[in-house]
Amino acid sequence: MHAIYNFVSGPLAWVAFILFFGGILYQLISRAIMAKKKDAFIYEYWSFYHAFRSILHWIFPFASTNSRNRPVLSVVTFIFHICIFVAPIFLFAHITLINEAFNVSWWFLPDGVADIMTLLVIGACIFFLIRRLTQPDVKFLSNAWDYVLLALVAAPFVTGYWAYHQWPGNQLVTILHMLSAEILLAIIPFTKLNHMFLFFFTRGYMGSEFGAVRFARDW
């Protein structure tokens, strides 16, 4: 078990982070080059003011018409996205591990707060799952991958919660926790989870085109 722990917390973590950051860079650069070649007008029409205007309208709940039309989903989605970033990054246990490895640390959340945020993420994932299974249009749009991705997103939070509360199999679950998070990080750039960074470009471009060329709102 030590060998597995060492492997998962060491080399595999490096692989995951390299794939994550490398993947993001690869996707952004390859798309930038492809856009230059085949969609050159993106560069022509891009307007930072209008891009940010649009991004801001879509990042906050109730700032767009569609968001106001679906208050429950808007709130769940907003909380989900905040927690999925804030909880892991500002978790004491994670910062401690990073501090041990790299001697850097930063502000962390009280464990109780992180615990609630984790539950919120898990709850949101369950909400998304139910929505995917019960809403006909979403069900139609979903393929197996959508469910797998949802499970992969939930996995680190479920295992993290499990490990923190020291339920049975805590050591194994700690390893699974690291492993699932590594898988998640590694696939983000190469699946539709890449909306994590592409969102800013798709929304930004639509905002630019609507705002600077069409003189219309896009929210």
Q: Is residue 151 involved in binding another protein (CB under 8 A)?
A: no
CA–CA distances in Å: residue 193 to residues 81, 136, 197: 12, 22, 9
Crossing angle of helices 195-208/11-38, nearest 10°?
Answer: 20
Give the pair of three-digit tokens for residue 33.
């080059």
Q: Is residue 134 involved in binding another protein (CB under 8 A)?
A: no
Q: Is residue 174 involved in binding another protein (CB under 8 A)?
A: yes
Tell me the torsion sign for CA atoms 86, 92, 97, 102: positive
Measured from the CB of residue 1, what is the shortest distance to another protein in angstroms? Answer: 8
Q: Which of 58, 80, 157, 161 binds another protein (CB under 8 A)?
A: 58
Helices and strands in the chain: count of H runs, count of E runs = 12, 0
Q: Is residue 157 involved in binding another protein (CB under 8 A)?
A: no
Answer for the pair 218, 206: CB distance below 8 angstroms, yes or no.
yes
Q: Is residue 202 involved in binding another protein (CB under 8 A)?
A: yes
Q: Is residue 126 involved in binding another protein (CB under 8 A)?
A: no
Measured from the CB of residue 21, what is the shortest distance to another protein in angstroms? Answer: 19
Measured from the CB of residue 179, what is the shortest distance to another protein in angstroms? Answer: 13
Q: Which of 17, 25, 71, 105 binds another protein (CB under 8 A)?
A: 105
Q: Is residue 68 involved in binding another protein (CB under 8 A)?
A: no
Q: Is residue 159 involved in binding another protein (CB under 8 A)?
A: no
11 vs 166 by CB, closer to another protein: 166
Residue among 114, 119, 128 nearest 72 (CA): 128
C-alpha 97/C-alpha 17 separation (Å) is 15
161 vs 186 by CB, closer to another protein: 161
